Amino acid sequence: MLSEYFGLALRSLRKRKLRSWLTMIGIFIGIAAVVSLISLGQGMQKAITEQFFQLGADKVTVQLKGSRTGPPGSNTDFTLTTKDLDALRRANGVELAAGRLIEQGRLEFNDVERYTFVVSVPEEPELKELIDSIAQVKIIEGRGLKPGDQWKVLIPQSYRDTPKFGGKALRVGDKLRINDQTVDIVGVVKRTGNPFVDNAFQMMEPAMRELFGLPEKYGGLVAQINTNMDLQIVTENIEKVLRKERGFKKGEEDFEVLTADEAFDSFRTILNIVSAVLIGIASISLIVGGVGITNTMFTAVLERKREIGIMKAIGARNSDIVLLFLIEAGLLGLVGGLIGIGLGVGLGKLVEFAAYRAFGESLIKAHFPPLLIVGSLAFSFVLGSLAGALPAYRAGRLPPVEALRE
Amino acid sequence: MKERLKKRTPHSRTRDIIIRLENVWKTYTMGKTKVHALRGLDLTVYRGEFLSIMGPSGSGKSTAMNMIGCLDIPTKGTITLEGKNIAQMSESALAQIRGRKIGFIFQKFNLINTLTAKQNVTLPMIFQNIPREQREQRAAELLALVNLADRMNHRPTELSGGQQQRVAIARALALEPTVILADEPTGNLDSSTGETVMEFLEKLHREKGTTIVLVTHDEHVAAHADRIVSLNDGRIGGRT
């Protein structure tokens, strides 16, 4: 008999189209917000998880404090230096250590100016390999950098694929100017999904030191550690060595040694807080939507007193009437949810696309697991039914004589 | 009890009692004053009879009809339907009884406007969990019986008053009720359409032996019945 009740409820809703639509607005805005936020949040989490796992459990990075979430090297008061790198190499348990310069550079091409990151590549093949593996460098066009390359650069894929210089994209063989120095493009680095890597131009370290006038500085250090040793102990060793080198007491360091796990955890915490706040806001809109359904259903009960009376006269029990109104309210929620999911998916994809256009990178990817879709649908139906519970109960309790008198 | 016997149908001869109201009182409280709509009503409805309850407005005939139709319970007194006291039953139990035993025909037709004629007729059967196929077939038969086979998929708003009332009659017959309760069934119809409806009820009574209780203030309409009782001041009596 339930299918008949659905049919009856659907007919009642269709009869009052405008009101049904208006009522559903609250629900579909809420559901759309929840779906898009969760999808983007999950997408971001996925992207970040992937990146941090690429870093690997056998590597640690050294950064100056306060630059954890920003690109390393943006802190200019104190810097890491070549001496720190030497110290790092001395720490027990460090097998290999490399440093990287990370600076903002001014690009000029086709009379258009842009700013982006320039990063250095070490000359020693072993260190270059370490850096490349962490940054996941893959050359998809042209060639990689070689020791002795001076005014040669690698460009990120997005600069080849997207016309960023007054309608022109960069190509292998083009010449452009970085900080007023003309350089040749020799290769293109494949997109990795890491926004920092995907926006960085790469140069050999000696050339970059010359170009930026930085004989000693490093933006960040990376160490590969002996996997037979405890990560915690090696980290402590590194901290001890660097404290001594840089002249700090324990607990007052201006630098930090990050393992993949730690870096990931701190990022995830931030992401979770942001998601929680946004979903909180979306929940408020769902509550408002639910109250809207309650309101509409109360009106419907008042308006349809006579109909309720007729149904009771021809044999509808209180529970039948309650069920009918519950289903009607549930359908308002469900249809609102369906539209909301459609909007949410659209919104998620739109943000993904906008992010792609803005950064030229696939930093944000909307991710829609089936559980999210099914869960949202079920939730919206339950929300609607709950919102309709009180009006439905009232409808069921109407004495038939009074209802028929209307 | 003052009543007038017009004629006896074969069905009423057995004097099998369907509904009996004994000393039924219904009191409404309006502010501080108490209004007695029924003051000790005694009434018996026999199986297979066509009974008219007549009375001017305010005589309590609508309240009496609500009692007979199990739409309301009395303040005092007993009502037995086929031997069962319904005076103290819960609303849901009453609903079940209404659905199975009583077919209502109202002055304002009381069809559900969002449903087609056929869907209106199937509705009482839905509430009694009759399987779909059976419902559909029965509804089609009943609409053919009231000469509306060609209007099955029309909505009430697309039908004339007379047609709507015939849909209501079909709906009232859906579950082969023990009694048909008609409350001013011609009240919203012009006299010739009203006459057709009344003739149809009479035919139903004559040919199928359906028990009919008719509530009206119109003597001509009441005259279709076998027996007429008059209600005045909440009890049987007064003029006929």
ipTM of the complex: 0.88
B185 touches chain A (CB under 8 A): no
Q: How far is CA A378 from CA A40, A338, A381, B116, in A?
A: 21, 10, 5, 31
With an 8 Å Cβ cutoff, are B112 and A312 in contact? no
Task: State how far the Cα of A63 lies from the Cα of A221, in Å rounded to an integer.
Answer: 7
Please tell me the distance in Å from B185's CA to the nearest CA on chain A. Answer: 15
Pick the residue of B127, B134, B176 with the most A CBs within 10 A to test the interface with A by mutation: B127
B88 touches chain A (CB under 8 A): no
Three-state DSSP class for B70? Answer: coil
pLDDT digits (tens, 9 = 90+) for A241-264: 888 888 888 888 888 888 777 766
A173 touches chain B (CB under 8 A): no
A19 touches chain B (CB under 8 A): no
What chain B holds in terms of domains, given with CATH numbers, is 16-110+161-236 (3.40.50.300)
pLDDT digits (tens, 9 = 90+) for B30-51: 888 888 889 999 999 999 999 9
With an 8 Å Cβ cutoff, are A315 and B92 in contact? no
Q: Which residues contact A329 (CB under 8 A, 6 or more apart)?
A: A293, A294, A297, A384, A385, A387, A388, A389, A391, A392
pTM over 0.80: no
B140 touches chain A (CB under 8 A): no
For CA atoms B99, B91, B166, B4, the dihedral sign is positive
Q: What is the pLDDT of residue A359?
A: 61
Query: For the CA atoms of A296, A301, A303, A308, what is the dihedral angle to 10 degrees?
Result: 150
Chain B residues closer than 8 Å to A11 by CB: 114-115
Q: Are A99 and A242 a contacting pair, CB within 8 Å?
A: no
B153 touches chain A (CB under 8 A): no
Q: What stretches in chain A show pLDDT beneath 50? A: 67-76
Please tell me the distance in Å from A398's CA to the nearest CA on chain B. Answer: 10
What is the radius of gyration, based on Cα positions, of chain A?
31
A405 touches chain B (CB under 8 A): no
pLDDT of B238 strictly over 90: no
Q: B35 is written with which tokens? A: 């209004």
Question: For B77-90, what is the mean pLDDT?
Answer: 88
Pick the residue of A10, A314, A324, A398 with the most B CBs within 10 A to test the interface with B by mutation: A314
pLDDT digits (tens, 9 = 90+) for A14-72: 888 898 999 888 888 888 888 888 888 777 766 666 665 566 667 888 888 764 444 44
Question: For B212-223, what is the mean pLDDT?
Answer: 91
With an 8 Å Cβ cutoff, are A311 and B99 in contact? no
Q: What is the pLDDT of residue A386?
A: 92
| Residues A134-154: b if buried by 16+ CB within 10 A, e if exposed | bbbbeeebbebbeeebebbbb
Q: Are B113 and B156 a contacting pair, CB within 8 Å?
A: yes
Three-state DSSP class for B47? Answer: coil
Three-state DSSP class for A120? Answer: strand
Per the prediction, chain B carries an average pLDDT of 87
- Chain B's closest residue to A400, CA to CA, is B71
Task: State how far the Cα of A392 lies from the Cα of A294, in Å rounded to an integer.
Answer: 9
With an 8 Å Cβ cutoff, are B110 and A404 in contact? yes
Q: Are B167 and B148 a contacting pair, CB within 8 Å?
A: yes
